[in-house]
C-alpha cells in the first residue's frame, strides 16, 4: 500500500464535481486500500477521492477505535465504510451545529450546520448496493465527505472559520476529517 498526497484548495480538483465510478477493478481496489491507509496515517476519520487528486465519487470513513470512541460509538467505532457513488436519500428535519476540520485545509476549523440523521444509498467497494443510516457524528462525517464529491468544502458553508487553537486539539467534539 502507498500513502497518498492530500491536496489543498489551490488544486482545482477539489472544486470540481467528481465523476461516477463505473469500474471496480484491481486498480480501484488498490486506490481504496491506499486511501484507507492515508486516512488513518493522517490521522482523519474520512477521506474523499478528490482529496487525493482522483476525481471519482468515492470516500472512505472510519471512526476512531480507541476506548473513548468505543464507549461513545459502540460497534461503529473502528468500522470501515467505503461509499461509491453515494447519494443522500433521506434527511432528518433536525439540523445540528458542530465543529469541523479537513485534511485538505490543515490548521483551520469551522462551525457547520448538518442534518442530525441521514440515509445514504451507495455502492460498496465491489459495486454491491448498500444503504447506510447514520446519525450524530457519523452523519456529519458522511455529509462532509459527500460535499467533497460535489466540489464543496466545509469552509463554503461554515458560519465561522478560525485557526486551530491549542484548546481545540483535545476537543472530542471536533470532526477532524
* Active site (catalytic) residues: 145
List the one residue out of 153, 23, 139 whose CA is nearest residue 85. Answer: 23
* Number of neighbours of residue 139 by Cβ within 10 angstroms: 23
Question: Other CB atoms closer than 10 Å to residue 143's CB: what's the count?
Answer: 22
Beta strands in 19-151 (DSSP E): 46-48, 58-62, 80-91, 95-101, 108-115, 117-123, 129-135
Amino acid at each position: 500500500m502507498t500513502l497518498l498526497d492530500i491536496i489543498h484548495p489551490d488544486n482545482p480538483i477539489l472544486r470540481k464535481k467528481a465523476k461516477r465510478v463505473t469500474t471496480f477493478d484491481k486498480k480501484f481496489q488498490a486506490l481504496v486500500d491506499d486511501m484507507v491507509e492515508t486516512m488513518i496515517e493522517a490521522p482523519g476519520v474520512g477521506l474523499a477521492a478528490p482529496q487525493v487528486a482522483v476525481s471519482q465519487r468515492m470516500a472512505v470513513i472510519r471512526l476512531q477505535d480507541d476506548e473513548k470512541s468505543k464507549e461513545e460509538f459502540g460497534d461503529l467505532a473502528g468500522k470501515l465504510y467505503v461509499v461509491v457513488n453515494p447519494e443522500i436519500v433521506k434527511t432528518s428535519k433536525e439540523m445540528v451545529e458542530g465543529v469541523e476540520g479537513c485534511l485538505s485545509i490543515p490548521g483551520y476549523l469551522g462551525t457547520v450546520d448538518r442534518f442530525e440523521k441521514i440515509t445514504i444509498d451507495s455502492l460498496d467497494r465491489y459495486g454491491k448496493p448498500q444503504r447506510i443510516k447514520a446519525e450524530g457524528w457519523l452523519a456529519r462525517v458522511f455529509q462532509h465527505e459527500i460535499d467533497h464529491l460535489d466540489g464543496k468544502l466545509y469552509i463554503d458553508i461554515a458560519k465561522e472559520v478560525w485557526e486551530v487553537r491549542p484548546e481545540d486539539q483535545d476537543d472530542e467534539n471536533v470532526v477532524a476529517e
